[in-house]
Structure 1
Amino acid sequence: MRELRRKILLPAFRLSELTTDDDPLALTQVIKQGTGYPATTYHYRFVGGDGTGREFCYNLFPVVLDKHAAPWPFGTLYILAQLEAQTTPVMTTCQSKADDLGAYKEWLDTHDDPDDVMCQFPQMKLRRVTYRYRGHLQRQVQAGEVAPGTAKRRMGTVVAFYRWLIARNYLQPDNPPWEEKLYQITFRTLEGRSLSKRVVSTDISIRAPKSEDPFSGTIRDGGQLRPLTNKEQGWVLEATQAKGNTECYLLQLFMLATGARIQSAGTLRLRHFTQTNPRYAKALAGDGEVFKLKAGPGTGIDTKNDKSGVLQVPRSIYELLHTYGLSDRAKVRRSRFVAKHGEHPDPYLFFTQQGNPYFAAKADVQRFNPNFDRRHEKNGQPVRQFLKEHVIPDVRKKYDSSFKYRIHDLRASFGMNMTELLMGLVQKRKITLHQARMTVKDLLWHESLTTTDLYLNYRSHLNMIYEAVNGYGEQLQKWVAQASVSREVSDE
């Protein structure tokens, strides 16, 4: 079934309200109706525009649509309420909620009177709209149209939406929209402290059990990451360099050398690599020198969950990026950005050929720009598109027809490179296993040693699985052979 367009993103949105023409802050809007018809005129003012309150201005504001491609009032008001409740809203989160509400509205619009259906909560529980929508999502999951995780998220968004409707008195259902259960969960923190948390669960939530494939060769580190072998890492860099994309080459090289995620590599700033006399320190692993690059809030470099830390940049990589930052190629790309958007107070190191950033930092996204003209955020799409269209096909053609990888796999590749280097030192008794373990943890910014141990045990765990399966396969072959002999005897 083809899905309809569920939402649009407004490049620039400012919350306004109707007012009168004698309001000193009034703005006038004239809508022409065509030849021979009088124009419609109304007056409005921006909310908080008097300078005494907060101005509700957003770039890439999501608007939930109905089947006629018109804004759905309740859905859009809910998104606005979510944004108003946050001092530093994350637009991607609200955009995801708008997608979920758009899917719900699409289902409502399949009925003759969607507004009436949305408020139907009869005495029979399974006829209430929330239970009916849950059944719809479950059928979609069973038909393979929607992933279980997506269905779970959509149901959760609809529950939050109805909680908001009821709290704002937009809706007073005749019967409860769901049944709730209160649970007390006890867990231990990373420091070993025991804590309890109250959790409210509903009977319309959708379970999305995760099944792990032991043969996937991945490590769960902020996602399922597959460490590339040394040979595969060489293939990727070789293919990127052959295509002449210096920026994608340097981005990937930086990630392989530091373990940084794409949002960190994409938000490196020019000032970070144009220092006159950079200071180098001894590397955590190996005998080389590194430049300690601070990342996180206040540094200009984005990190996952706004975590603060230090990236250990090998001296050779730092000097390479220093040379690139001062090159004519980089200057031309920065000038194209300035021509379109004006001077940036803290320019990025990397720009696309068109003068756009590869990844827009959170601070830039949250800063309202009334002249913003795009309908999407820059979050590494140019890199991912380049890998999909050029790098992966080139590697498949030259080396491995089934080769595949994602940009985040480079982080896991760095982790395995460091792990194997350090485990080699452990075997030579130059360092202890504890020292190797803690070094990998520090290099990858892990909160828990449990995640670090996934790297240390990766090779042995994978080999153990294959040995077990191969050994069992040999036993099965013996049983099959035995069954064949028995069958021959019985036939005689």
Structure 2
Amino acid sequence: MKELRRKVLLPVFQLSELTMADDPRALKRVIKQGKGQPGFSYFYRFVQDDHAGRWFSYNLFPVILDRHAAPWPLGSLYILAQLEAEASPAMSTFQAKADDLGAYKEWLDTQDCPDDLIFQFPKIKLRRPTYRYRGYLQQQIQAGEVAPSTAKRRMGTVVAFYRWLIDNNYFQPEYPPWEETQYRLIFKTTEGVAVSKKGVSTDVSIRAPKSEDPFAGNIQDGGKLRPLTGKEQNWILEATKAKGNTECYLIQLFMLATGARIQTAGTLRLTHFTHPNPGYAKALTGDGQVFKLKAGPGTGIDTKNDKNIVLQVPRPVYELFHIYALSDRAKVRRGWFAAKHGETTSPYLFLTQQGNPYYLAKAEALHFNPNLDRRHDKTGQPVRQFLKDHVIPYVREHHDKHFHYRIHDLRASFGMNMTELLMELVRKEVITLSRARMIVKDLLWHESYATTDLYLDYRSQMEAIYQAVNGYGKQLQGWIDQAMKGMDVTDE
């Protein structure tokens, strides 16, 4: 079944309120009434928090739609209330919440009297909308129409939505929308310190047990990542070069050379690669040299969770990027960017042919733009689309018809490249295993050695899995042969 459109993103949203003509911040709006008719006018002003000194103005504001593609006031008010409580909101988070509530509204609209049902909490538990919606999500999981993790998130958003309705006196349910159970979670931090945390669970929550496929070849490092083999790494760069996309080639090369994520590679700045006399340091993994590039808050380069890190950029890669930064191709693209957005002291290193960034930096995304004319975030889509439309088909045609990868797999590929290089040094007794472990952790900026060990154990674990399965397969075949010999199979 085709899903309905659940939300629309407004490029510009500015919260306003009615006011009088003598208000110093008053703005006049005239609504035409037709030819020969006087226009209707009123005065309004943009809402400002006088204590915090900020406006409630947002780009890419999500408006939840009902089944008839009309805005759902209650759901959109909830999103706005959540945004107002955030000083620096990440709009993608609230867009996801709008998606979840849009799915709930879509379900409500398929029921009888949806505007009444949302507030009906009768004595019989299974007639309450929260329990009914949970049952619907469970059916979707069983039918394979939605992933358990998605259903769990949607139910959690609905619970938060009802908490807000009750806390803000939109209604008081006759009977509880769910039953709560308090629990205490005890865990250890990455420093080994025991921490206790209280929590509350509800009986409408949906469990999403994780099922790992040992043959998928993934490493859990901020997501499921698949390290590409050396041949596969060559294939994707060959394909990107063959398709003539210099920027996507360099972005992927940077990720393979440093372990950076797409948001880091996409927010590199011109100034980082135009030093006349860059200082190089000795590489951690050999005799080569690297340029130590700081990334994170204050550098103009984004990192996951705003973590301050240092990228070890191999000298040949830095020199290649220096040449690109000063090239006519890059200058033309910066010219297109300046024509649209004006000159800037810290332009992006990589821009699309139209002069747009491949990945919009967080600091710029938080800055309200009253003239924004797009309805989507810039989070590396041009790169991902290029891989889907050009790189993967090329590799499947020329090398492996079953080939697949995602841009984040390049981080795991870098991690495995470094791990294999260091493990070879361990075998030659040039460095110790503990030293190799520490270097991999530093290169990938891991908080815990537990994630680092996934790289160190990856090859041996995969080999052990396949050996075990192959060995058991031989034993199983022996049992089958033995059974066949003892069976009298005849056609009757």
Where on the TM-score scale, by shorter chain, does this alignment land: which range?
over 0.9
Structure 2 residue 280 is matched with structure 1 residue 280: yes
Alignment partner, residue 404 of structure 1: 404
Alignment partner, residue 18 of structure 1: 18
Residue 50 of structure 1, CA deviation: 7.5
Structure 2 residue 406 is matched with structure 1 residue 414: no
Residue 171 of structure 1, CA deviation: 1.5
Per mean C-alpha deviation after superposition, the further-off stretch among 83-92 and 250-259 is 83-92
Structure 2 residue 201 is matched with structure 1 residue 198: no
Structure 2 residue 336 is matched with structure 1 residue 314: no
CA contact (8 A) 1:25 1:50 kept: no
Structure 2 counterpart of 1:250, which letter? L
RMSD: 1.5
CA deviations 1:30-60 (Å, max 9, x no partner) are 2223335543322110011889731111111
Structure 2 counterpart of 1:100, which letter? D
Per mean C-alpha deviation after superposition, the further-off stretch among 365-374 and 104-113 is 104-113
Unaligned runs of 5+ in 2: none
- SS of residue matched to 2:197: strand
What CA distance in whole angstroms lies between the structure 1 residues aligned with 2:130 and 2:218?
37
Structure 1 counterpart of 2:43, which letter? H
- SS of residue matched to 1:436: helix
Residue 362 of structure 1, CA deviation: 0.3
- SS of residue matched to 2:486: helix
What CA distance in whole angstroms lies between the structure 2 residues aligned with 1:171 and 1:49?
27
Residue 344 of structure 1, CA deviation: 2.7
CA deviations 1:301-325 (Å, max 9, x no partner) are 1111111110000011011111101
Per mean C-alpha deviation after superposition, the further-off stretch among 19-28 and 433-442 is 19-28
What CA distance in whole angstroms lies between the structure 2 residues aligned with 1:330 and 1:33?
51
CA deviations 1:42-95 (Å, max 9, x no partner) are 211001188973111111111111223222111111111111111111100000
Structure 2 counterpart of 1:237, which letter? L
Q: How does 1:8-87 map to 2 (within 5 A)?
A: 8-48=8-48, 53-87=53-87
- SS of residue matched to 2:159: helix
Distance 1:345 1:144, change over 3 A: same
Alignment partner, residue 424 of structure 2: 424
Distance 1:49 1:24, change over 3 A: farther
Alignment partner, residue 297 of structure 1: 297
Structure 2 residue 326 is matched with structure 1 residue 343: no
Residue 448 of structure 1, CA deviation: 0.8
- SS of residue matched to 1:425: helix
What CA distance in whole angstroms lies between the structure 1 residues aligned with 2:368 and 2:490?
83
- SS of residue matched to 2:181: strand
Distance 1:85 1:52, change over 3 A: closer
Alignment partner, residue 5 of structure 1: 5
Alignment partner, residue 255 of structure 1: 255
- SS of residue matched to 1:487: coil
The aligned length equals: 492
Unaligned runs of 5+ in 1: none
CA deviations 1:334-386 (Å, max 9, x no partner) are 11111112223421000000110000010010001101111001100000000
Distance 1:63 1:489, change over 3 A: closer
CA deviations 1:218-240 (Å, max 9, x no partner) are 11111111111111100100110
CA deviations 1:238-271 (Å, max 9, x no partner) are 1101111000000000000000000000000001
CA contact (8 A) 1:152 1:208 kept: yes
What CA distance in whole angstroms lies between the structure 2 residues aligned with 1:313 and 1:295?
12
Structure 2 residue 380 is matched with structure 1 residue 380: yes
Per mean C-alpha deviation after superposition, the further-off stretch among 261-270 and 271-280 is 271-280
What CA distance in whole angstroms lies between the structure 2 residues aligned with 1:254 and 1:416?
15
Structure 2 counterpart of 1:226, which letter? R
- SS of residue matched to 2:144: coil
Alignment partner, residue 466 of structure 1: 466
What CA distance in whole angstroms lies between the structure 1 residues aligned with 2:216 and 2:328?
43
Residue 112 of structure 1, CA deviation: 3.5
Q: How does 1:89-238 map to 2 (within 5 A)?
A: 89-238=89-238
- SS of residue matched to 1:349: coil
What CA distance in whole angstroms lies between the structure 2 residues aligned with 1:6 and 1:31?
29
- SS of residue matched to 1:358: coil
What CA distance in whole angstroms lies between the structure 2 residues aligned with 1:479 and 1:33?
87
What CA distance in whole angstroms lies between the structure 1 residues aligned with 2:99 and 2:271?
38
Structure 2 counterpart of 1:32, which letter? K
Per mean C-alpha deviation after superposition, the further-off stretch among 347-356 and 336-345 is 336-345
Identity %: 73
Structure 2 counterpart of 1:210, which letter? K
- SS of residue matched to 1:232: helix
Q: How does 1:439-478 map to 2 (within 5 A)?
A: 439-478=439-478
Distance 1:48 1:181, change over 3 A: same
Distance 1:482 1:160, change over 3 A: same
- SS of residue matched to 2:305: helix
CA contact (8 A) 1:261 1:411 kept: yes
Alignment partner, residue 244 of structure 1: 244
Moved runs in structure 1, 4+ residues, more than 4 A?
49-52
- SS of residue matched to 1:310: strand
TM normalised by structure 2 equals 0.98
CA contact (8 A) 1:30 1:41 kept: yes
CA contact (8 A) 1:101 1:157 kept: yes
TM normalised by structure 1 equals 0.98
Distance 1:286 1:38, change over 3 A: same
What CA distance in whole angstroms lies between the structure 2 residues aligned with 1:52 and 1:89?
15
Residue 488 of structure 1, CA deviation: 3.1
Distance 1:42 1:68, change over 3 A: farther
Structure 2 counterpart of 1:89, which letter? P
